[in-house]
Amino acid sequence: MPQKTVRFREENEANSSPPRTSSSPPFSADNPSSQPTPTMPPSPVHAATVPTDESLSLDTAFYGQDGLHTELGHDTQLFFDMRYPPFGTVNDLNASFNSSDLKLAATYTPQPFMTIQCKLLPWAIEIFPRHGCTYVTVQDVLVGIFDSLQCCATAEEFQREKLMKREEIENQRVLRRDLSRRRIDWLLMDDCCFLGLSHSIGNVWRLRVND
């Protein structure tokens, strides 16, 4: 019977591959440069990069001297009762816009957000892009104003007002036949008509209502 020969690999043959080397020195407290670079978290959606003029072509005819879309400015021809949805049966703004107009940037230099203030409201209205867009559109402004005014007001916000104002707010709530106070109740019936926006400072705009 033939004898079997078993051959063992030499130690230097088993480890013939060259040792791996690191391109950077090992981490140590005495060597700050060896610390790993931290990974930055992703940016929030509202801080997305706004399209440049090369990627977004806008017609200057749609915008006023303040850079605001003309239908959102002080010369607006829109009928928008802010107590009701902008695209419902009362405010049929679909008759004033086509779908492409509504998707236009609200400002000639597209912005990732807008802040709207009103002298009759104790809080600001923050407008952010919707539907995956990176900039505020005309539709975002109209829908954002309505949605913000439909938010329920807190008891603290109500109690901060003077007695006469609280009575006016309660009267508006009763007229709406609602058990909850909403921010729209801070506006009297004659103040609920959208009269456009005017520029304040930076990216802040003022909501114009009846004086």
Please state whether the predicted TM-score (pTM) of the whole model is above 0.75: no
Q: What is the mean pLDDT of residues 180-184?
A: 97
Q: What percent of the chain has pLDDT over 70?
A: 73
What 3-state DSSP class applies to 53?
A: coil
Q: Has residue 94 been placed in a domain?
A: yes
Tell me: pLDDT of 105 over 90. Answer: yes
Tell me: pLDDT of 53 over 50. Answer: no
Q: Domain residues for 54? A: 45-207
Q: How far apart, in whole angstroms, are the C-alpha atoms of residue 188 and residue 202?
A: 29
Tell me: pLDDT of 138 over 50. Answer: yes
> Counting beta carbons within 10 angstroms of the beta carbon of residue 90, is it exposed (0 to 12), middle (13 to 18) or buried (19 or more)?
exposed
Half-sphere exposure of 91 (CA within 13 A, CB side): 19
pLDDT, mean over the chain: 80
Q: Has residue 23 been placed in a domain?
A: no
Per-residue pLDDT, 45: 36
Tell me: pLDDT of 27 over 70. Answer: no
Q: What percent of the chain has pLDDT over 90?
A: 58
Tell me: pLDDT of 24 over 60. Answer: no
Q: Has residue 99 been placed in a domain?
A: yes
Q: What is the mean pLDDT of residues 23-39?
A: 43
Letter string b/e over residues 52-64, b meaning 16 or more CB atoms within 10 A of that residue's CB = eeeeeebeeeebb
Tell me: pLDDT of 154 over 70. Answer: yes
Q: How far apart, in whole angstroms, are the C-alpha atoms of residue 142 and residue 148?
A: 10
Q: Has residue 34 been placed in a domain?
A: no
Q: What is the mean pLDDT of residues 95-122?
A: 92
Q: Has residue 57 been placed in a domain?
A: yes
Q: How far apart, in whole angstroms, are the C-alpha atoms of residue 94 and residue 56?
A: 24
Query: Do 183 and 151 meet the contact criterion of CB atoms below 8 Å apart?
Result: yes
Shortest CA distance to 58 belongs to which of 110, 18, 98, 11?
Answer: 110
Half-sphere exposure of 136 (CA within 13 A, CB side): 25
Q: Has residue 151 been placed in a domain?
A: yes
Q: What is the mean pLDDT of residues 164-189?
A: 96
Per-residue pLDDT, 59: 81
Number of domains into which the chain is organized: 1
Q: How far apart, in whole angstroms, are the C-alpha atoms of residue 146 and residue 85?
A: 6
Residue 211: pLDDT band (50, 70, 90) is low
Tell me: pLDDT of 108 over 60. Answer: yes
Q: Has residue 12 been placed in a domain?
A: no
Q: Has residue 164 been placed in a domain?
A: yes
Per-residue pLDDT, 97: 81
